[in-house]
Amino acid sequence: MSDWPYNTRAWRKLRRLVLAERPWCRYCEQAGELRPADTVDHTVPVREAPDRAFDRSNLQPLCASCHSTVKQSEDVRGYSSMVGADGWPVDDRHPVYQDSGMNAGRGRGRR
């Protein structure tokens, strides 16, 4: 992880604010669980959109586990493989929703 923007006072303040406003991991919530968030993630990575580094609409609270596993694999694949409590993938970009119109609209999308 590069130092900027994470080594700035502005980032530390924004991170505290996001975690105070949304204390639960977004991915865990979508899977029907409640785990405290301890990481603030950029939905569009800073390397792709440095102009959105401090944009609150580009930030999401995650637990360390989801950030280091689910989010990283999502960045590589282009979709999340997480499933919700109903057993269906939570991401509309998942291939199961791309194969046919049969399951259209079941995903809950992230972005």
Which letter does DSSP use for residue 89 in this model?
B
At residue 102, the pLDDT reads: 47
What tens digit of pLDDT does each residue of 28-64 get? 998 889 999 999 999 998 989 999 999 999 999 999 9
Average model confidence (pLDDT) across the chain: 86
Name, in order, each residue with C-beta under 8 angstroms of 98's C-beta and a sequence gap of 6 or more: none
At residue 77, the pLDDT reads: 85
At residue 12, the pLDDT reads: 96
What are the backbone angles phi and psi of residue 108, rounded to the nearest 5°?
A: -110, 0
Output 87 or 104, whichever has higher pLDDT: 87
96, 97, 103, 105: CA torsion to nearest 10: 140
At residue 56, the pLDDT reads: 96
Under the banding of pLDDT at 50, 70 and 90, the label for residue 23 is very high
The 3-state DSSP class for residue 69 equals coil
What tens digit of pLDDT does each residue of 7-18 get? 999 999 999 999
Q: Determine what percent of the chain falls in helix, strand and coil, rounding each to the nearest 5.
A: 40, 10, 50
Q: Name the β-bridge partners of 60.
A: 41
**What is the amino acid identity at position 77?**
R
Quote the pTM value: 0.72
